[in-house]
Amino acid sequence: MVDADELRTRVRRFLSEHDPAGTDRLDFLRARFDAGLAWVHYPVGLGGIDAPRALQTVVDEEFAATGAPDNDPLTNTIGLGMAAPTILGHGTEEQRRRFLRPLWTGEETWCQLFSEPGAGSDLAALSTRAVREGDEWVLDGQKVWTSLAHTARWAILVARTAPGAPKHKGLTYFLCDMTDPGVEVRPLRQITGEAEFNEVFLSGARIPDSQRLGEVGQGWRIAMDTLMNERVAIGGGNTAREQGMIGIVSETWRQRPELRTPGLHERLLRLWVESEAARVTSERLRQQLVAGQPGPEGSAAKLAFARLNQLISGFELELLSQQGLSYDDWSLRRPDSTELTSRSPGYRYLRAKGNSIEGGTSEILRNIIAERVLGLPAEPRTDKDVPWKELPR
């Protein structure tokens, strides 16, 4: 079993052979992947060395200390946090070798084509159709709320292949080429003024059967694995104490004593304690991931993340008083990534509203926690065994 000391030795040996300052960035990242120092817990040949997942931070810290280039994870969050573990878990060996390396190096970015105008929280109700024609599938439909679709090279996609089956059983999972002529991306403006989201129209888009992930009809099960990984990626990030939103507000509190009031002090302390509890819980979740696939615990982490972001961003505006009411971050741009901590207080407040929708709405996550974690009775579902084509829409 590889331990931390051996990993550090491997990284230092790699750096002695690949000078970060004198090596082309992309060549450096490709070599790091091939050396098994990308995702250390992935299999040999796919960016890893079958090491414990918990040792990833050891590798990342060693590379960061030398100023080595990273793979700019903020521009490919969906690929790294959702597509990669899904392809690893359900893809063929050919699919793994084709997609994982350029995904990790950032040569190919990804988006997620799941939600639809009539199937947001109820993903299984989606109506995008995929009809097989020989060795290809022809897709028609509309997806919505798609982050990064305007920059993505590939997409993970779920479509209906058996309309006569119950809605959960008639879905199939695909890897979609976003450059296909049948794929059209249109921007959606949000409350911040930006358009990080998109709507995507599929009109006769063609996907080779070789880009089908898993068996026909297994789309729901694979999609659930993807969403569990997404919730872990959103809510279970690796952060140090007093980083993120609570760190910004705490620093403002220290630097601007004229803003302090006793009531605000008590609220800040409560938010600080809740943030620390969420951080420690996320650390425990990451340790559990070492032993297997993510479970429903990721839903709790994501739910806490959304709630705290909204509470802290609201507190920040109240703390700043009149200054907090100004919004000078308005711009009609299409960002390649979303980073709350580097933006203005007004932007953080507005953008945090989306945290309770993206990655699964907070209402749905509460249902998951109630049923799968607490063991409470499930809500009645009268449409579970009814053929999808017979459901009212």
Q: Distance between CA 393 and CA 391 in Å, rounded?
A: 6
Q: Are residues 357 and 240 in the same domain?
A: yes
Q: Could you tell me the pLDDT band of residue 323, with boundaries at 50, 70 and 90?
A: confident
The values of phi and psi at residue 126, to 5°, are: -55, 150
CATH code for the domain in which residue 290 is found? 1.20.140.10
Q: Is residue 274 part of a domain?
A: yes
Number of neighbours of residue 312 by Cβ within 10 angstroms: 26
Q: Are residues 177 and 252 in the same domain?
A: no
Q: Distance between CA 184 and CA 199 in Å, rounded?
A: 8
Question: Tens of pLDDT along 309-321?
Answer: 999 999 999 999 8
The amino acid occupying position 73 is P
Q: Distance between CA 330 and CA 157 in Å, rounded?
A: 32
Q: Are residues 194 and 231 in the same domain?
A: no
Number of neighbours of residue 25 by Cβ within 10 angstroms: 15
Q: Output the six-digit token pair for 292.
A: 């297997």
Q: Are residues 66 and 178 in the same domain?
A: no
Please give the model's pTM, rounded to 2 decimal places: 0.86
Instruction: Give the contacts of 172 (CB within 8 A, at least 6 positions apart).
Output: 130, 158, 159, 160, 161, 212, 214, 216, 217, 218, 219
Q: Residue 387 — left, alpha, or beta (φ > 0 → left; ψ -120 to 50 → alpha)? A: beta
Q: Is residue 90 part of a domain?
A: no
Can you say whether the dihedral through the CA atoms of 62, 64, 68, 72 is positive or negative?
positive
Q: Could you tell me the pLDDT band of residue 293, with boundaries at 50, 70 and 90?
A: low
Question: Tens of pLDDT along 145-201?
Answer: 998 999 999 999 999 999 999 999 999 999 999 999 999 999 999 898 889 889 999
pLDDT recorded at residue 114:
96
Output Rg (C-alpha) for the chain, integer angstroms: 22
Q: Are residues 240 and 155 in the same domain?
A: no
Q: Are residues 250 and 342 in the same domain?
A: yes
- Give the residue among 50, 98, 61, 358 at the shortest CA–CA distance from 233: 358
Opening angle at CA 141, ends 139 and 147, nearest 5: 105
Q: Are residues 248 and 334 in the same domain?
A: yes
Instruction: Give the contacts of 185 (CB within 8 A, at least 6 positions apart).
Output: 146, 149, 150, 178, 198, 199, 200
**Percent of the chain clearing pLDDT 70 (strictly above):** 93
Q: Could you tell me the pLDDT band of residue 2, with boundaries at 50, 70 and 90?
A: confident
- Please tell me what DSSP assigns to residue 175: E
- Give the residue among 120, 85, 91 at the shortest CA–CA distance from 104: 85
Number of domains in the chain: 3
The values of phi and psi at residue 72, to 5°, are: 50, 65
* Contact (Cβ atoms closer than 8 angstroms) between residue 317 and residue 346: yes
Q: Are residues 199 and 229 in the same domain?
A: no
Task: Round the average pLDDT of the chain to a whole number and report it.
Answer: 90
Task: Give the distance, in angstroms, between the CA of residue 318 and the centroid of all CA atoms in the same chain.
Answer: 30
pLDDT recorded at residue 365:
85
Q: Is residue 99 part of a domain?
A: no
Q: Is residue 12 part of a domain?
A: yes
Residue position matching structure tokens 């949000």: 190
Q: Are residues 172 and 265 in the same domain?
A: no
CATH code for the domain in which residue 179 is found? 2.40.110.10
Task: Give yes or no for residue 290 having a pLDDT over 60.
Answer: no
Instruction: Give the contacts of 113 (CB within 8 A, at least 6 positions apart).
Output: 128, 143, 146, 149, 155, 156, 157, 158, 176, 200
pLDDT recorded at residue 292:
52
Q: Are residues 235 and 367 in the same domain?
A: yes
pLDDT recorded at residue 288:
60
Q: Could you tell me the pLDDT band of residue 215, with boundaries at 50, 70 and 90?
A: very high
Q: Is residue 87 part of a domain?
A: no
Q: Which of 157, 191, 216 is the last residue of a domain?
A: 216
Q: Distance between CA 325 and CA 328 in Å, rounded?
A: 10
Q: Is residue 293 part of a domain?
A: yes
Q: Distance between CA 163 and CA 387 in Å, rounded?
A: 7
Greater pLDDT, 129 or 147? 129
Q: Are residues 235 and 364 in the same domain?
A: yes
pLDDT recorded at residue 325:
84
Question: Which residue out of 62, 116, 194, 230 is catalytically annotated?
Answer: 230
Q: Output the six-digit token pair for 241.
A: 């104490």
Domain extent for 160: 110-216
Question: Tens of pLDDT along 336-372?
Answer: 666 667 788 999 999 999 888 887 788 888 988 888 8
Task: Give yes or no for residue 1 having a pLDDT over 80.
Answer: no
Q: Is residue 138 part of a domain?
A: yes
Strand 110-113 to 129-133 pairing: unpaired
Q: Distance between CA 106 and CA 64 in Å, rounded?
A: 17
Q: Are residues 322 and 305 in the same domain?
A: yes
Q: Is residue 76 part of a domain?
A: no
Task: Assign 3-class secondary structure to 136-151.
Answer: EEEEEEEECCCCCCCC
Task: Give yes or no for residue 233 having a pLDDT over 90.
Answer: no
Strand 154-160 to 110-113 pairing: parallel
Annotated catalytic, 108?
Answer: no
Strand 212-213 to 171-177 pairing: antiparallel
Residue position matching structure tokens 């032993």: 291
